[in-house]
A and B are shown apart, each in its own frame.
Chain A
Amino acid sequence: MTAPPSLLVEDLAFAYPDGHQALFGVDLRIERGERVALLGPNGAGKTTLVLHLNGILRGGRGQVTVAGLPVGRDHLQEIRRRVGIVFQDPDDQLFMPTVGEDVAFGPRNLGLPEEEVAARVAEALDQVGMAGVADRPPHHLSFGQRRRVAVATVLSMHPEILVLDEPSSNLDPAGRRELAEVLESLPVTVLMVTHDLPYALQLCPRSVVLDGGVVVADGPTRRLLADADLLARHRLELPYGFAPDRV
């Protein structure tokens, strides 16, 4: 028997309480160990989709399944362990007084014993190259360091799938590269929301384009980025001088 896909989204539709319909039937299947970029213009519904993956938003049509477990009221805690969401602003993600306590927040919510929590904190900080900052307050770290610590705060829960909302935004080029190295080294399934097309090409063999609340393209990143018509139709633009076939 093969392992179930890390993520299965079937016919997901959702309207916000004010009546604004953000998703109109999204289908998406991500296999274990895949790294997938989620592309799309502002307002396409990317963040709305992400908030459905761990059941923060619910109640529309359709179904989300994480490694075989349907997202629903019954086992939210286990779903939130399996889906590690890293939000865009690390200041939202890091709310505890110290880095170590923040990375421990998830595992403690899972009710793990203290030795296990300590081991997971050390492991997660090590995975993002931030071992040794456990006792520092988050606001003493650089923005790039905070972003990497934010990744550690969900890695410590041993997620099935890591979901990142615009991980490269506001990073300087070195911070951007360091984060890429971290993400490449992680042995987990990754779904990465981004406007940074070269970053998608560098990290994700496969991309999905969302626009107007539906998936409009799904395929190898290199092929999608070479399709000038597709990009133009969905307000996606490569940086000046960037040619995907020459990378």
Chain B
Amino acid sequence: MGAGHGGVLGAAYVVGSSPVHRLEPHLKLVAVLGFALVVVATPVAAPWAWGAYAAYLALVLGVAALAGVGHRRLARGLVVEVPFVAFALLLPVVSQGPRVDVAGLSLSVSGLTAAGGLLAKATLSVLAATVLAATTEPRALLRGLERLRLPSPLVQILMFMFRYADVVGGELRRMRVARESRGFRGRHLGALKVLGPAAGSLFIRSYERGERVHLAMLSRGYGGRMPAGPAVAAPAQAWLAALALPLAAAAVLASGLLLG
């Protein structure tokens, strides 16, 4: 019933068995977070900043190659960045301070630097997250978040989102088919009169489903906490392998700060 093999949200995952795939999900989460922190901590204004960004890029692309995540997959991951790009394009125009003329436009120098830095940082972080999503099944990611002690209600919400994305998506699709089967075409403003109530009814249906799921959970002894499954401690080598990416990035940053 869902879109493709893993459903709506599973679409990001690329089946494989690379060393990156096999790493424990919570280690990968820590690694991506660490990498993003190092990237963000790199000062844009420093003369060596762009050299550091290039080194980070080489690192992520290396990991992507190791994981067998292709360029096309990476490019698709970058789509989430579009709002940042729009914002970054505005910065040089609206920022204050000394200006340069580029193709007849007067642009702010500090705005240009800030926009460049923003884009570079966003791109690097999104690339790392894309590799994570492509090598980790959504439910493994959830288990990882749980092991990192993310508050249990948050993990449960994410878990239900993942489980029911397909079900709610299917409901949405059936409602649309039912509308269009009776000649409805959502092309003009008047359509809002129909689509508004439709959204409302989808909400009610989802809410009622939530109540029924809750009943089913209570019936099996649910008392407010998700019972935890088995957890095996990750060996030191696994930690080392996972942290290789953020540690290498941190080394680049440190050498920039010390020598640059």
A residues at B contact (CB < 8 Å): 51, 54, 56, 77, 80-81, 83-85, 87, 89, 91-93, 95-98, 101, 104-106, 108-110, 114, 137-139, 153-154, 157
- 16 A-B residue pairings within 8 Å (CB atoms): A80-B219, A87-B215, A87-B219, A89-B212, A91-B209, A95-B160, A95-B216, A97-B159, A97-B162, A97-B163, A108-B227, A109-B223, A109-B227, A137-B10, A137-B139, A139-B167
Q: Which residues of B contact A114 (CB under 8 A)?
A: 229-230
- Does A104 contact B229, Cβ atoms closer than 8 Å? yes
Query: How far is the CB of B15 from the nearest CB of chain A, in Å?
Result: 13
B1 close to A (CB within 8 Å): yes
Give bound CA distance, A139 to B10, whole Å.
Answer: 12
Which residue in A89, A91, A137, A157 is a CB contact (below 8 Å) of B220? A157
Give bound CA distance, A91 to B206, whole Å.
Answer: 12
- Does B220 contact A106, Cβ atoms closer than 8 Å? yes
Q: Told that A80-B218, A85-B219 touch, could you supply 14 new A-B pairs with CB distance under 8 A?
A: A56-B218, A80-B219, A87-B212, A91-B164, A96-B159, A97-B138, A105-B217, A105-B227, A109-B222, A137-B6, A137-B10, A137-B139, A139-B1, A154-B220
- What per-residue 1/0 map shows which CB atoms of B135-158 lie under 8 Å from chain A? 000110010000000000000000
Interface size range on B against A: 20 to 34
B228 close to A (CB within 8 Å): yes
Q: Which residues of A contact B219 (CB under 8 A)?
A: 54, 56, 80, 83-85, 87, 154
Q: Which residues of A contact B183 (CB under 8 A)?
A: none
The answer to whether A92 and B166 touch (CB under 8 A), given A80-B221, A108-B229, A137-B139, is no
- Does B139 contact A98, Cβ atoms closer than 8 Å? yes
Q: Which residues of B contact A93 (CB under 8 A)?
A: 216
Give bound CA distance, A127 to B135, whole Å.
Answer: 34
- Does B230 contact A92, Cβ atoms closer than 8 Å? no
B residues at A contact (CB < 8 Å): 1-2, 6-7, 10, 138-139, 142, 159-160, 162-164, 166-167, 209, 212-213, 215-223, 227-230
Query: How far is the CB of B214 from the nearest CB of chain A, in Å?
Result: 9
Query: How far is the CB of A239 from the nearest CB of chain B, in Å?
Result: 27
Give bound CA distance, A175 to B63, whole Å.
Answer: 46
Give bound CA distance, A127 to B216, whole Å.
Answer: 21
Smallest CB gap from A77: residue in B: B221
- Does B163 contact A92, Cβ atoms closer than 8 Å? no
Q: Which residues of B contact A154 (CB under 8 A)?
A: 219-220
- Does B215 contact A110, Cβ atoms closer than 8 Å? no
Q: Which residues of B contact A84 (CB under 8 A)?
A: 219
Q: Which residues of A contact B228 (CB under 8 A)?
A: 108
Give bound CA distance, A96 to B213, whole Å.
Answer: 11
Smallest CB gap from A89: residue in B: B212
The answer to whether A110 and B163 touch (CB under 8 A), given A87-B216, A101-B229, is no
Give bound CA distance, A89 to B215, whole Å.
Answer: 12
